[in-house]
């Protein structure tokens, strides 16, 4: 890669609880690439809105908030105005809030260049819902990760229980189906598999198997 060639991007998109965040972070570590959790940015916007009392229906105010957000990713932590907020943004409330604010075109525009700035040598693994279609359309490899809603709900349930949090698998499944519908129906950058992305169904795969398959696809696509 020379100075005029942009760093390669591996774009991993998919619905909520498909495992994309976990495997993308592991893949980035395995490849020695940078990592972008784009969903975390929208979660931080939702968290900041809740803290400042902003309505999640006020697109203009949310866009201004997103544009001036003091957020960074350091040492495996998400920081908002100098405070680590990783645990807070992983809550179900922030997840649902993120899905709502991400539907606003002005918010997405405010965060677009911030996401693209993560692209630095030697490369980037980016996960989200529109990484391959909108943020990095020239990505060297695009993968759409999915699994059945039932399996995704079970994974999220185990994750929450493992953190010592109360959880109801029926409610989680309902939330996942609602978020799928909302994310797929939004007018800007809807959740969908773009034409040049390959599908990877993780329903019956372990995390290790998914990472291994992604590495195989990276090599096959000469994305490394």
Chain segment 91-107, per-residue pLDDT in tens? 888 988 998 998 899 99
How many distinct helices (H) and strands (E) make up the chain?
9, 8
Per-residue pLDDT at 224: 67
3-state helix, strand, coil in the chain (%, to 5): 50, 15, 35
Averaged pLDDT for residues 35-55: 93
| pLDDT of 165 above 60 | yes
Total number of domains constituting the chain: 1
**Domain-embedded: residue 181:** yes
Averaged pLDDT for residues 10-18: 92
Q: Which domain holds residue 197?
A: 9-218
Averaged pLDDT for residues 62-81: 89
Rounded Cα distance, 205 and 61, in Å: 42
Per-residue pLDDT at 3: 54
**Domain-embedded: residue 4:** no
Give the pLDDT band of residue 54 (cuts 50, 70, 90): very high
Specify which of 24-33, 75-84, 85-94 reaches the highest per-range mean pLDDT: 24-33
Residue 185's domain is classified under what CATH number?
3.40.50.300
Asked whether the bond before 127 is cis by omega within 30 degrees of 0, the reply is no
**Domain-embedded: residue 212:** yes
**Domain-embedded: residue 169:** yes
Averaged pLDDT for residues 106-123: 93
Averaged pLDDT for residues 220-224: 79
**Domain-embedded: residue 83:** yes
| pLDDT of 141 above 90 | yes
Q: What is the mean pLDDT of the chain?
A: 91
What lies within 8 Å, CB to CB, of 157 at 6+ separation is 167, 169, 172
**Domain-embedded: residue 54:** yes
Helices 92-101 and 38-52 cross at an angle (nearest 10°) of 100
* Burial category of 60 from C-beta neighbours within 10 Å (exposed 0-12, middle 13-18, buried 19 and up): exposed
| 3-class state of residue 146 by DSSP | strand
| β 9-13/124-128 pair status | parallel
Averaged pLDDT for residues 55-61: 96
**Domain-embedded: residue 82:** yes
Per-residue pLDDT at 51: 94
Per-residue pLDDT at 72: 85
Residue 91 in tokens: 């809550």
**Domain-embedded: residue 1:** no
């Amino acid at each position: 890669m020379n100075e005029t060639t942009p760093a390669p991007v591996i774009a991993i998109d998919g619905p909520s609880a498909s495992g994309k965040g976990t495997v993308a972070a592991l893949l980035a570590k395995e490849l020695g690439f940078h990592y972008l959790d784009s969903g975390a940015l929208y979660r931080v916007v939702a968290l900041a809105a809740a803290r400042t009392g902003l309505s999640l229906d006020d697109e203009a105010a949310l866009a201004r908030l997103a544009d001036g957000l003091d957020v960074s990713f350091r040492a495996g932590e998400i920081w908002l105005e100098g405070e680590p907020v990783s645990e807070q943004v992983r809550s179900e409330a922030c997840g649902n809030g993120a899905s709502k604010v991400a539907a606003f075109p002005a918010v997405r525009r405010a965060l677009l260049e911030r996401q693209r700035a993560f692209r630095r040598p030697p490369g980037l693994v980016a996960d989200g819902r529109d990484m391959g279609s909108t943020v990095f359309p020239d990505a060297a490899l695009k993968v759409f990760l999915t699994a059945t809603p039932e399996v995704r709900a079970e994974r999220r349930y185990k994750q929450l229980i493992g953190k010592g949090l109360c959880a109801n698998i029926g409610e989680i499944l309902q939330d996942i189906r609602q978020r799928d519908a909302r994310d797929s129906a939004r007018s800007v950058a809807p959740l969908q598999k773009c034409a040049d992305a390959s599908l990877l169904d993780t329903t019956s795969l372990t995390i290790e198997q998914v990472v291994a398959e992604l590495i195989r696809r990276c090599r096959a696509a000469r994305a490394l």
